[in-house]
């Protein structure tokens, strides 16, 4: 097929850079989103994504001003597209840990109601295995009155992006392309070769679904191992980061970095998406690892309480400063951030303030931009996100501003010995007291 126009449904961290990449290649590109404020920003050539995203703001401005990229809330305009790429959230219910596919179902139906015969539909959203066959195809066929493989083409090409390197990952990383049939695979290869420098690894729909959920579950398991080692080292009086260095001197070992918790849209849910597809077999390692990582922000609260107690203070009459609301360094993305759990656990039990140089919207506590204001009269400074601005903190200056010198380090950002030498009570993930 000849691809001259593309519609991207969902203009968030995945869809917006995808749309920009196609537009930069001269493809007439439409970004569809239900958020009118986001659509308005894009149409003014302004990136709605804050944080350090190299090249994205310039790419949006150039594409919009050049006329190759427009944004809309109107799904009817997708009827103009040769290819429609769906990049919407597939969250889980936090209580049941079951997939919530409401957004996907709605977007798929809206696409089906307007797509033209012969169009290629690509689902980039991460899916529980068998969702393409059991959910996506029935909706597309019922709402369009057409048949997949006969009247339109269908692929599942899961995204592999990460905040902070959205364009780089899109242009450089390999991708898995699952197709309904051979014709769909060939059309998908033609589509993604426009923007990709990496390889396309072809498969059927089911194997593409499974591989995406498990590539993230695999990393989640590795991080959980590191976090278990960190908890053990705290009890043993050892430094988990020195242990990691020594372990990794052995060939074929790659112990990951422990920390305050695992955030982002993907890792906290993809293990549960995979597990939800299984009716008889119950995975143990994958789900236990996920539970281990979910507990790390709770452990951060325990370290806060222990640090305050060592300094002779009680949580109830203390001011706590949270450094970092985003889940990732130099990003504005707060989805499943460990900071949210920490704030939830402390809310109503202590006075809270939050500092983050990138996040625009506060969460249950005042959000300050000035670091000195955030730590002033604080009883405990808690490093949750390793934003670049927190590296090389002037500890003497920080200590002079705080009421009680307690530091809880969830990212190994500071030297434990250096903090203690400067007069702080120090507690850190993986750092034996």
- Apex CA 176: angle with CA 157 and CA 20, to 5°? 50
* Packed helices 102-114 and 137-144: angle between N→C axes, nearest 10 degrees: 40
Q: Which pLDDT belongs to residue 1?
A: 75
Q: What is the pLDDT of residues 126-179, one digit of tens each?
A: 999 999 999 999 999 999 999 999 999 999 999 999 999 999 999 999 999 999
Written in H, E and C, the secondary structure of the chain is: CCCCEEEEECCCCCHHHHHHHHHHCCCEEEEECCCHHHHHHHHCCCCCCCECCCCHHHHHHHHHHHCCEEEECCHHHHHHCCEEEECCCCCECCCCCCECCHHHHHHHHHHHHHCCCCCEEEECCCCCCCHHHHHHHHHHHHHHCCCECCCEEEEECCCCCCCCCHHHHHHHCCEEEEECCHHHHHHHHHHHCCCCCCCEEEEEHHHHHHHHHHHHHHHHHHHHHHHHHHHHHHHHCCEHHHHHHHHCCCCCCCCCCCCCCCCCCCHHHHHHHHHHCCCCCCCCHHHHHHHHHHHHHHHHHHHHHHHHHHCCCCHHHCEEEEECCCCCCCECCCCCCHHHHHHHHHECCEEEEEECCCCCCCCCCCEECCHHHHHCCCCEEEECCCCHHHCCCCHHHHHHHCCCCEEEECCCCCCHHHHHHCCCEEEECCECC
User: Could you list the active site residues?
Assistant: 212, 266
Q: Is 51's pLDDT higher than 90?
A: no
Burial environment of residue 368 by CB neighbours within 10 A (0 to 12, 13 to 18, 19 or more):
middle
pLDDT of 301 reads 98
pLDDT at residue number 433: 75
Give the residue carrying structure tokens 């074929």. 252
Q: Give the span between the Cα atoms of 146 and 169, in whole angstroms.
A: 34
CB-CB contact of 395 with 419 (8 Å): yes
Q: Average pLDDT in the 28-57 region? A: 96
Express each pLDDT in 257-311 by its tens digit.
Answer: 999 999 999 999 999 999 999 999 999 999 999 999 999 999 999 999 999 999 9
- Domain architecture of the chain: domains with CATH: 5-212 (3.40.50.720), 287-428 (3.40.50.720)
Q: Which tens digits make up the pLDDT trace of 395-411?
A: 999 999 999 999 999 99
């Amino acid at each position: 097929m000849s691809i001259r126009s593309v519609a991207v449904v969902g203009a968030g961290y995945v869809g917006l850079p995808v749309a920009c990449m196609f537009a930069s290649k001269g493809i007439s590109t439409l970004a569809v989103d239900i958020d009118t404020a986001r659509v308005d920003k894009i149409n003014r050539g302004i990136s709605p994504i804050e944080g350090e995203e190299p090249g994205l703001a310039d790419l949006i401005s150039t594409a919009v001003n050049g006329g190759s990229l427009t944004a809309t809330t109107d799904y009817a305009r997708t009827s103009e597209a040769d290819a429609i790429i769906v990049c919407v959230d597939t969250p889980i219910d936090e209580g049941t840990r079951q997939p919530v596919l409401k957004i996907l179902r709605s977007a798929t139906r809206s696409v089906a109601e307007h797509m033209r015969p012969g169009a290629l539909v690509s689902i980039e959203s991460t899916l529980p295995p068998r969702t393409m066959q059991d959910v996506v195809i029935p909706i597309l066929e019922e709402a369009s009155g057409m048949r997949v493989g006969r009247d339109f083409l269908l692929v599942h090409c899961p995204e592999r992006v990460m905040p902070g390197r959205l364009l780089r990952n899109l242009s450089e990383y390999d991708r898995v392309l699952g197709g309904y049939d051979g014709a769909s695979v060939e059309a998908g290869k033609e589509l993604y070769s426009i923007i990709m420098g990496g390889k396309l690894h072809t498969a059927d729909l089911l194997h593409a679904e499974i591989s995406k959920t498990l590539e993230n579950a695999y990393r989640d398991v590795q991080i959980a191992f590191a976090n278990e080692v960190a908890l053990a080292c705290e009890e043993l009086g050892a430094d988990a980061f020195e242990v990691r260095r020594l372990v990794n001197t052995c060939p074929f070992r790659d112990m990951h970095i422990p920390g305050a918790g695992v955030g982002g849209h993907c890792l906290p849910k993809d293990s549960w998406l995979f597990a939800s597809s299984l009716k008889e077999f119950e995975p143990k390692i994958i789900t236990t690892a996920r539970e281990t990582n979910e507990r790390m922000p709770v452990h951060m609260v325990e370290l806060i309480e222990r640090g305050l107690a060592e300094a002779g203070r009680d949580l109830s009459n203390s001011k706590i400063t949270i450094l970092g609301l985003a889940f990732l360094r130099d990003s504005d993305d707060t989805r499943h951030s460990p900071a949210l759990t920490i704030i939830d656990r402390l809310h109503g039990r202590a006075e809270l303030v939050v500092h983050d140089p990138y996040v625009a919207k506060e969460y249950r506590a005042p959000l300050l931009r000035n670091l000195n204001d955030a730590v002033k009269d604080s009883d405990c400074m808690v490093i949750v996100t390793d934003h670049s601005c927190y590296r090389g903190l002037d500890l003497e200056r920080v200590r002079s501003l705080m009421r009680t010198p307690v530091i809880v380090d969830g990212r190994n950002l500071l030297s434990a010995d250096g903090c203690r030498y400067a007069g702080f009570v120090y507690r850190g993930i993986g750092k034996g007291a």
